[in-house]
Amino acid sequence: MRFAVVTFPGSNGDHDALMAIRLGLGHAAELVWYTETDLSRFDCIIIPGGFSYGDYLRAGALARFAPVMSAVAREAEAGKPILGICNGFQILTEARLLPGALLRNASLEFVCDWVWVRVEQTRTPWTSQLAPGTLLRLPIAHGEGRYYVEAEQLVALEANGQVVFRYVDADGSPTADANPNGSVANIAGVCNERGNVVGLMPHPERAYDRFVGGDDGLRILASVLSVGLEVAHGPR
């Protein structure tokens, strides 16, 4: 598998993602500059965390117009696995590649912590190797992570199986206390209708080894390798 990790001006999770893929997964990864216009040589794409364009106007609003985003949209259309982490999630919602929006945390505070998330959906390439209901311990670090969709769209998301991750307590219950930012329905991550584009606020790439506090994030990144097997051996 060849992973692309996109670097925007202001990205800071790009090297974390690179290290997680190279050291954690042992796969090839390349940093791709935001001016790139062709990503067809990659098998999957990661839009990393950070503060692209200083979060000016709205988080992710300006990165959406970077040249590389046309290529990302093209690969999304082609069905390639794309993962947006934190600011990457914000960018993908602003680009309308994912539904909803991410607003200022309900607490108005930047939250830096470890949280539990529950895997709600395994039809995406990023969760295909996980059992539904799996609990993962992942770090979060964001000021604008409050996921929002209108009530009727939330019903549609749930019905379409587009809610991928939910904040839960250690017992797996999506309680109000387990919700770090006030997201609707404790949503931590969603996917597009097709399922190939996933975004989440927690940082799987910062949990790729027990040495850095945990390795649950690696299970998300490793899931996508099954897509590579299909490429190599044909669909099973």
Nearest residue (CB) to other proteins, 116 versus 167: 167
The verdict on 232 binding other proteins (CB under 8 A) reads: no
The reply to whether 203 belongs to the active site is yes
Nearest residue (CB) to other proteins, 51 versus 147: 147
- Rounded to 10 degrees, the C-alpha dihedral 110/164/17/72 comes to -110
116-175 residues in contact with other proteins (CB under 8 A) are 146, 148-149
Query: Buried b vs exposed e over 8-33: b needs ≥16 C-beta within 10 Å?
Result: bebbbbbebbbbbbeebbebebeebe
Tokens 């919602």: give the residue.
Answer: 93
The one-letter amino acid at 78: A
**CA 211 – CA 194 distance, rounded (Å):** 35
The reply to whether 191 belongs to the active site is no
> Judged by CB under 8 A, which of 7, 52, 87, 105 binds other proteins?
105
**CA 12 – CA 198 distance, rounded (Å):** 19
**In terms of C-beta density within 10 A (0-12 exposed, 13-18 middle, 19 or more buried), how is residue 52 classed?**
buried
191-220 residues in contact with other proteins (CB under 8 A) are none
Nearest residue (CB) to other proteins, 101 versus 135: 101
Give the binding range for other proteins (CB under 8 A) out of 24-32, 93-101, 154-162, 166-174.
93-101
For other proteins, how many residues bind (rule: CB under 8 A)?
Answer: 18
The one-letter amino acid at 15: H
Q: Which two tokens stand for residue 89?
A: 């999630």
Cβ within 8 Å of residue 167, ≥6 positions away: 115, 116, 117, 174, 178, 179, 180, 183, 186, 187, 188
Catalytic residue among 86, 120, 144, 191: 86
30-89 residues in contact with other proteins (CB under 8 A) are 57-58, 61, 65
Helix (H) or strand (E) holding 99: none
> Judged by CB under 8 A, which of 15, 74, 104, 123 binds other proteins?
104
> Judged by CB under 8 A, which of 94, 120, 205, 216 binds other proteins?
94
Nearest residue (CB) to other proteins, 35 versus 107: 107
The verdict on 93 binding other proteins (CB under 8 A) reads: yes
The verdict on 100 binding other proteins (CB under 8 A) reads: yes
Nearest residue (CB) to other proteins, 80 versus 146: 146
The reply to whether 205 belongs to the active site is yes
DSSP code for 77: H
Strand, coil or helix: 214: strand
Known catalytic residues are 86, 203, 205
Contact residues for other proteins, defined by CB under 8 A:
57-58, 61, 65, 93-94, 100-101, 103-108, 146, 148-149, 182
